[in-house]
Amino acid sequence: MTFADMFKNSILEGFNTDVTMGKVAAGLLAALLSALFILFVYRMTMRGIAANRGYEITLLLVTAISAMIVLTITSNLALSLGMVGALSIIRFRTAIKEASDTAFMFWAVAAGITAGAGFYMITVVGCLFIGLVTVLACLLTRKSARPYLLVVRTEAGDTAETVEKLLEENRVRRKLSSLVQNDRYTEIIYEISVSAAQQRLAAAVKALPGVKTVSLVDCRNS
């Protein structure tokens, strides 16, 4: 046996040309179950008030499609080379608003790859571990301080100094973003960081004499 034959056989040993219906069904079923678990964790930890149905369907599809691709790649050398070349020209240009959505997309791809390759133990253990870490991280950060815009409109005068004093007494981290003064009113916009317990601050500011309106706007980008 020549070196070329040995090299060829060592490569072909990594490909299983005997693809059975049971293997395909097991791989796709494992991918589907892991996708449903990912979707469950996504709904538990999402920051918005309403779920994005299009993104949720995409998570399910990406997991199943990844499994199907890996099943094809591991069964035939020629197909694997051709599919790698075809996938290399694909470009995804859809903007993802939440940074965590990108991580969920990678999670779905990884679950589909491991399920399609037949590493079901890695799929199960990996999904359970990542899901646990995601839920714990969400619980730990839920009560932490978040960025808001505090918009205060007051009567013309020294009311702005009173607002500044109240924020100082409550130890609110703040940054003056905008200040508008004219003969009728003074409008102040602060970038502040407050926790859930400090969100009552808006009512305290509104109770100050001379304050007309108070708005607390969530300005999170992720």
Q: Which residues pair with 188 in a beta bridge?
A: 152, 179
Condensed to tens digits (0 to 9), the pLDDT of residues 130-163 reads 999 999 988 877 666 678 888 888 876 666 777 7
166 plus 127 within the same structural domain: no
User: How many domains in the chain?
Assistant: 2
120 plus 86 within the same structural domain: yes
Q: Which of 111, 142, 173 is the last residue of a domain?
A: 142
**Most confidently modeled range among 6-15, 59-68, 179-188:** 59-68
**Contacts (Cβ under 8 Å, ≥6 apart) of 136:** none
32 plus 137 within the same structural domain: yes
105 plus 208 within the same structural domain: no
What's the domain range around 152? 146-218
88 plus 173 within the same structural domain: no
161 plus 131 within the same structural domain: no
117 plus 157 within the same structural domain: no
Condensed to tens digits (0 to 9), the pLDDT of residues 21-77 reads 888 899 899 999 999 999 999 988 887 666 678 888 989 999 998 888 888 777 665
Q: What six digits make up the tokens of 2?
A: 């020549």
With a threshold of 0.75, does the pTM exceed it?
Answer: no
**pLDDT, greater one: 87 or 193:** 193
111 plus 177 within the same structural domain: no
What is the rounded CA–CA span in Å between residue 167 and residue 196?
A: 16
Q: What six digits make up the tokens of 76?
A: 């035939």
Condensed to tens digits (0 to 9), the pLDDT of residues 92-121 reads 566 666 778 888 989 999 999 899 888 999
Do 27 and 121 contact (CB within 8 A), yes or no? no
161 plus 64 within the same structural domain: no
**Residue type at 177 in one-letter notation:** S
Q: Which of 120, 142, 164 is the last residue of a domain?
A: 142
CATH of the domain at 207: 3.30.70.1150
Q: Which residues pair with 176 in a beta bridge?
A: 190
